Amino acid sequence: MAKAVLTPQAENFPAWYQDVVARAELAENGPARGTMVIRPWGYAIWELMQADMDRRIKATGAQNASFPLFIPMSFLEKEKQHVEGFSPELAVVTHGGGDQLAEPLVVRPTSETVINHYFAKWIQSHRDLPLMLNLWNNVVRWELRPRLFLRTTEFLWQEGHTAHATYEDAVEETERMLEVYRRFMEESLAISLVVGEKSPGERFAGAEHTFTCEALMRDGKALQMGTSHNLGHNFARAFDIQYLDAGGERRYAATTSWGTSTRMIGGMIMVHGDDHGLCLPPAIAPHQVVVMQLDEGSEVAEAATRVEAELRAAGVRAHLDARTHTSFGRRSVDWELKGVPVRIELGARELASGQATLVRRDTRSKSSVPLDGAARAAASLLDEIQQALFAGSRAFREEHTYPVTDFDEFTQRVGDGGLFLAAWSGTEESEQALGEATSATIRCIVDADPPAPTCLMTGMPAKHTVLIGRAY
């Protein structure tokens, strides 16, 4: 077996992350600061995530569309909080076709403004509602401390934008999409989440309510994996989205937006990866099973091809690795690095004994199975692995979630990582006190009785239970 090629997680987690991203050939830094090249293995994972999520989004009735990359600066300025929130992160086009532009164009950081401009045009009557659109595109937010997948100046994402007749309909939509995200992340990414509302300090610029999916990485830091915003009537007023209701009265529509991005790939890496590399949930693995042909010769080649064909016939994304000129050690290490859930090893010895070797990536355990049943055995392992990864993620999150009632104790422990459940007054002062004393933030408000009658940060009467942690 070749020796480890990654910095161990326990030694230096950020270095391990960089190593995995590079060695599994997921992505590289782009030439312009903060940009990213997503290599085929990383992009194939993204395509599977997209296809899965796209089905779920369309099942809610939303339709895909495309809006322009460039937004006139004046559009952003229509919603005051929105432009304040995004101004520091904007990339601005000042020249086009050789000339200076009369009005600078912003490279979209998100598309609320341009979409709501069209909503105002398209929505006239209550019959035009709800209007539910989703975009798969790229957005740009200038990043001072970029990190591949987690924070990049340009990233790929989906952004949903909807308009509804009533505020209550917008509430429902915000909750529905949060639930779509939760199910996708738990069922397909095998990542256990805490979902809840963001505190005012962490809200989307221009939203009335922001809901979030928070996950716990293996280094004890939290990651925001997706958000769903109830924009209330803020954007409808700014862009004048009015409709005639059934009684003939003009009313403002209520709007929402919701998004998830390539950041989810970063979360998936840091939740499931280990010192041997990536560990992909089968649902989003480009190769779910790799058949490794160990020796040359037509009989071995035929047997390996047959197993691959059986896997494909069973609906498994199978790949035949027939690189017999490359060492076994290097090939095994490669597939481990790339996180392929199951390997089937098949050489002359296996053929003679009628037994193939099955290797699980998550547990790294090997077993012998009859060659005839190898494809079936591998296929049935996939479900088991998907479940085991989710169970592992949930157990890790639960084991590293601590109720805290003493602020001094909390400030001492927060540096070790993990999630903390605390009582919160619901006030801005409490949120500020937290930020001043620690580098942790309120990740979200959770639906549970406060662990103490008074706020952890200020001692004021407790209103909510919040989840606190250091985050990416």
Asked if the bond preceding 104 is cis, omega within 30° of 0, the reply is no
The verdict on 138 binding a second copy (CB under 8 A) reads yes
- Length of the chain measured in residues: 472
Stretch that binds a second copy, among 71-79, 172-180, 221-229, 405-413 (CB under 8 A): 71-79
DSSP annotation of 24 reads: T
Q: For residues 249 and 269, what is the distance between their CA atoms, to the nearest angstrom?
A: 52
Site string for a second copy, 23-42 (x = CB under 8 A): -----x-xxx--xxxxxx--
Six-digit token pair at 357? Answer: 């070797």
| CA–CA distances in Å: residue 174 to residues 24, 256, 469 | 36, 6, 24
- 366 near a second copy, rule: CB under 8 A: no
Q: What is residue 433's three-state secondary structure?
A: helix
Binding range to a second copy, per CB under 8 A, among 140-148, 294-302, 358-366, 424-432: 140-148
Query: Taking CB under 8 A as the criterion, which residues in 45-64 touch a second copy?
Result: 46-47, 63-64
CB of 83 to a second copy, least distance (A): 13
Contact criterion met (CB below 8 Å) for 374 and 381: no
Give just the sign of the alpha carbon dihedral 164, 169, 175, 180: negative
CA distance linking residue 431 with residue 112, whole number of Å: 27
| Strand-strand pairing, 70-72 and 318-321 | unpaired
427 near a second copy, rule: CB under 8 A: no
Tell me if 94 contacts a second copy by CB under 8 A: yes
Q: How far apart are CA 411 and CA 436, in angstroms?
A: 11
For residues 344 and 356, give the distance between their C-alpha atoms in angstroms, rounded to a whole number.
7
Q: How far is the CB of 299 from a second copy (least distance, A)?
A: 26
Nearer to a second copy, 104 or 220 (CB): 104
What's the closest the beta carbon of residue 220 comes to a second copy, in angstroms?
A: 29
Span interacting with a second copy, options 2-10, 141-149, 409-417, 435-443, rule CB under 8 A: 141-149
Residue 83 is a binding residue for a second copy (CB under 8 A): no
In the complex with a second copy, which residue's Cβ is closer, 68 or 415? 68
With contacts defined by CB under 8 A, name the span among 14-22, 68-76, 387-395, 398-406 that binds a second copy.
68-76
What minimum distance in Å lies between the beta carbon of 280 and a second copy?
17
CA dist 196 and 266 (Å) reads 21
Which residues of this chain interact with a second copy, rule CB under 8 A? 28, 30-32, 35-40, 43-44, 46-47, 63-72, 75, 87-98, 104-105, 107, 114, 117-118, 133, 137-138, 140, 142-144, 153-154, 156
